[in-house]
Amino acid sequence: MDGYNVAVVGATGAVGTRMIQMLEESKLPIASVKYLASKRSAGKVLKFKGADVVVEELVPDSFNNINLALFSAGGGVSKKFAPEAVKRGAVVVDNTSAFRMEEGVPLVVPEVNEDALYKHKGLIANPNCSTIQMVVALEPLREVYGLKKVIVTTMQAVSGAGNRAIQELHDETQAILNGEEYEPQVLPVSGDKKHYQIAFNPLAQIDVFEDDGYSHEEWKMIHETKKIMADQDLQVTATCVRVPVAVAHSEAVWFELEKDGADVAKLQSILKTAPGVVLQDDPKNQIYPQAVNAEGKKDTFVGRIRADKEQANSFHLYCVSDNLLKGAAWNSVQIAERLHALNLMRVPD
Ligand code: NAP
Ligand code: 3JM
Of ligand 1's listed atoms, the one at least distance from the Cα of 164 is 3
Residues in the chain: 349
- Tens of pLDDT, residues 107-151: 999 999 999 999 999 999 999 999 999 999 999 999 999 999 999
Q: Average pLDDT of 297-310?
A: 98
Q: Measure the CA angle with vertex 133, ends 131 and 137; round to 5°.
A: 115
258 pLDDT higher than 90: yes
- Tens of pLDDT, residues 183-242: 999 999 999 999 999 999 999 999 999 999 999 999 999 999 999 999 999 999 999 999
Q: Average pLDDT of 101-107?
A: 98
This model's pTM is above 0.85: yes
Antiparallel, parallel or unpaired: β 300-307 and 314-321: antiparallel
For residue 315, how many C-alpha atoms fall within 13 Å in the half-sphere facing its CB?
Answer: 25
User: Is 343 assigned a ligand-binding role in the annotation?
Assistant: no
pLDDT for res 2? 85
Q: Ligand 1 centre from 162 Cα, in Å?
A: 7
- Tens of pLDDT, residues 60-86: 999 999 999 999 999 999 999 999 999
pLDDT for res 85? 98
Residue ranges and CATH numbers for the domains of the chain are 4-126+328-341 (3.40.50.720), 131-322 (3.30.360.10)
| Residue of 129, 240, 319, 340 marked active site | 129
Q: Ligand 1 centre from 74 Cα, in Å?
A: 5
Q: Phi, psi at residue 331, to the nearest 5°?
A: -60, -40
Give dist(CA 286, CA 290) in Å, integer: 11
The residue among 317, 236, 331 whose CA lies nearest residue 276 is: 331
CB of 130 closer than 8 Å to CB of 217: yes
Side chain identity, residue 181: E
pLDDT for res 1? 62
> Which residues does residue 53 pair with via DSSP β-bridges, in sequence order?
46
> Which residues does residue 316 pair with via DSSP β-bridges, in sequence order?
254, 306
